[in-house]
A and B are shown apart, each in its own frame.
Chain A
Amino acid sequence: MKDTEINERTERVEEIIETLETGDIELEKAARLRAEAHELLDELEEHLAVGDGEVAVLTDN
């Protein structure tokens, strides 16, 4: 996942939070947005575990 994808997800979560915070929303839609936000955040958390910190020496000097 590249920077743009991460930033897009983060921005979408922010949008969802703002929409929910206005309170002017149907309950069914609010539940749908909450589920979408959790899915995006799960993806972000999964992405943050990018590797296992391996150091590989390709070529000595």
Chain B
Amino acid sequence: MGSKANEDDDNGVEKEDNGIDPSQDGVTTVSELNASIGDWISSAENLMSEFVVGEVTDAGVSNSTLYFQLTDDDASIQCLVFNNYRNRIDIDIEEGMEIAVVGELSFYEAQGNCSIYVHDALAMGEGAYQQKLEKLREELTEEGLFDDARKQPLPDYPEVIGVVTSVGSDAQEDALNAIHTRYPDVDVRVHGANVQGDRAPLDLEVALNTLDVTPDIDTVILTRGGGSNEDLRAFNEEDVVRTVADMDTPTVAAIGHEMDQTLVGAAADYRAMTPTDAGEAVVTEKALVTDDVTAQRERVNTAYSRVLEQKLDSYRTRVDDVFDAVETQHEHEQEVAATKRRYKLVIAALLALLLLGLFLWWFL
């Protein structure tokens, strides 16, 4: 062994001198190792069988190249179908199909990955997992587990929301952001769970059942972000699907992306496309609700003011009418009094004339 003294490399980073020199025999770099593997694969004869059989998973297209994983029970390998070969293949390669591919094995030295460059593919039928999944889907559909009649409406005004997801995940953050952006006051209870892998189904069942019996929780969101079909398999497990369907608390499922059609999504009371959609689906926008209340208060005040004005107008009119009547009566009484005075004067004049007549008749 060499000295333990420390040295600085070209970047000034302290390196430990452990006596291993990349240039000496028995020592190689990653680049050299991958180059050797690449050389060995390209020169190896009969390494690749004429057909490689497996199930298609995680298929997609990027830059006109079709890519997918060819999977069996224990292993998978990436397959690429370049554009010039895609038109020559007679079948449409889709998720869940079991196919036999013909092609060449390629080693990508930069990442140390093996892929099959597919030249042709033949359909073998549905893959074992896909067959099992479709059988379960049919059974549960026949049982009515996905019927609309079973679905509960989501409450318009939840006070506490339960979330089942991987704690600290982007899905949790997205769902919480969406909830609190629309309704900042709502409280949230998060129950963590593994959302993929062997432990996921039991974890999810425990979390859902716990939140279902937790007092005050009005709505439950079950969510995780996107992943491969294999990553999402826990959400197609029968026990998990039945747990979701049997929830007493209205439940929203947002598993993966829009294209991911899990059985849990079909069993939930509401299927959201993404964690953000789930958050937006469970709460109304508080600002709109408070605006409605304010508008109603203004309408009450306006309507009451109108009633008040109408009553005041009515009283004003009645007072005016009464005043007019009194005034008319008064004028009439004054006219009658004047007439009476005139009559009295005439009568007095007539009496005077009569007395004068009598007087003259008596003395003359």
- Residues of A at under 8 Å CB distance from B? 1-3, 6, 10, 13-14, 16-17, 20-21, 23, 25, 27, 30-31, 33-34, 37-38, 41, 44-45, 47-61
Q: Does B25 contact A (CB under 8 A)?
A: no
Q: Does B92 contact A (CB under 8 A)?
A: no
**B308-351: which residues lie under 8 A (CB-CB) from chain A?**
308, 310-311
- Residues of B at under 8 Å CB distance from A? 155-160, 166-167, 176, 180, 183-195, 203, 207, 210-211, 214, 286, 289-290, 293, 296-297, 299-301, 303-304, 306-308, 310-311
Among B176, B183, B192, the residue within 8 A (CB) of A55 is B176
Distance in Å: Cβ of A8 to nearest Cβ of chain B: 13
**Contact assessment for A41 and B297 in the assembled complex, using a CB-CB cutoff below 8 Å:** yes
Distance in Å: Cβ of B201 to nearest Cβ of chain A: 13
30 CB-based A-B contacts, threshold 8 Å: A17-B299, A20-B303, A20-B306, A23-B306, A27-B307, A34-B300, A34-B301, A38-B297, A38-B300, A41-B293, A41-B296, A45-B290, A47-B157, A48-B290, A49-B185, A50-B183, A50-B185, A50-B186, A51-B159, A51-B160, A52-B187, A53-B180, A53-B184, A56-B189, A56-B190, A57-B190, A59-B191, A59-B207, A61-B166, A61-B167
**Contact assessment for B156 and A6 in the assembled complex, using a CB-CB cutoff below 8 Å:** yes
**Contact assessment for B193 and A61 in the assembled complex, using a CB-CB cutoff below 8 Å:** yes
Among A1, A2, A44, the residue within 8 A (CB) of B293 is A44
Given contacts A45-B293, A50-B185, contact A20 B304 (CB under 8 A): yes
Q: Tell me the bound Cα distance from A10 to B296 in angstroms.
A: 9
**Contact assessment for B304 and A34 in the assembled complex, using a CB-CB cutoff below 8 Å:** yes
Distance in Å: Cβ of A18 to nearest Cβ of chain B: 8
**Contact assessment for A55 and B156 in the assembled complex, using a CB-CB cutoff below 8 Å:** no
In the complex formed, the residue of B with least CB distance to A25 is: B307
- In the complex, given contacts A37-B300, A50-B183, what are 17 additional A-B residue pairs having Cβ atoms less than 8 angstroms apart? A1-B157, A3-B155, A13-B300, A14-B296, A17-B303, A27-B307, A34-B300, A37-B297, A53-B180, A53-B186, A53-B187, A55-B190, A59-B191, A59-B192, A59-B210, A61-B193, A61-B194
Distance in Å: Cβ of B196 to nearest Cβ of chain A: 11
Q: Tell me the bound Cα distance from A51 to B180 in angstroms.
A: 11
Among B160, B192, B299, B311, the residue within 8 A (CB) of A27 is B311
Q: Tell me the bound Cα distance from A37 to B184 in angstroms.
A: 26
List, in ascending order, chain A residues with CB within 8 A of B158's CB.
50
In the complex formed, the residue of B with least CB distance to A6 is: B157
**Contact assessment for A17 and B166 in the assembled complex, using a CB-CB cutoff below 8 Å:** no
| Minimum-distance CB pairs A-B, first 6 | A20-B303, A61-B192, A51-B187, A50-B159, A34-B304, A37-B300
List, in ascending order, chain B residues with CB within 8 A of A30's CB.
304, 307-308
List, in ascending order, chain B residues with CB within 8 A of A23's CB.
306-307, 310
Q: Tell me the bound Cα distance from A47 to B155 in angstroms.
A: 14
Q: Tell me the bound Cα distance from A13 to B214 in angstroms.
A: 34
In the complex formed, the residue of B with least CB distance to A57 is: B190
Q: Tell me the bound Cα distance from A59 to B303 in angstroms.
A: 53
Distance in Å: Cβ of A30 to nearest Cβ of chain B: 4
Among A13, A14, A21, the residue within 8 A (CB) of B306 is A21
In the complex formed, the residue of A with least CB distance to B214 is: A58
Q: Tell me the bound Cα distance from A30 to B192 in angstroms.
A: 54
List, in ascending order, chain A residues with CB within 8 A of B186's CB.
50-51, 53
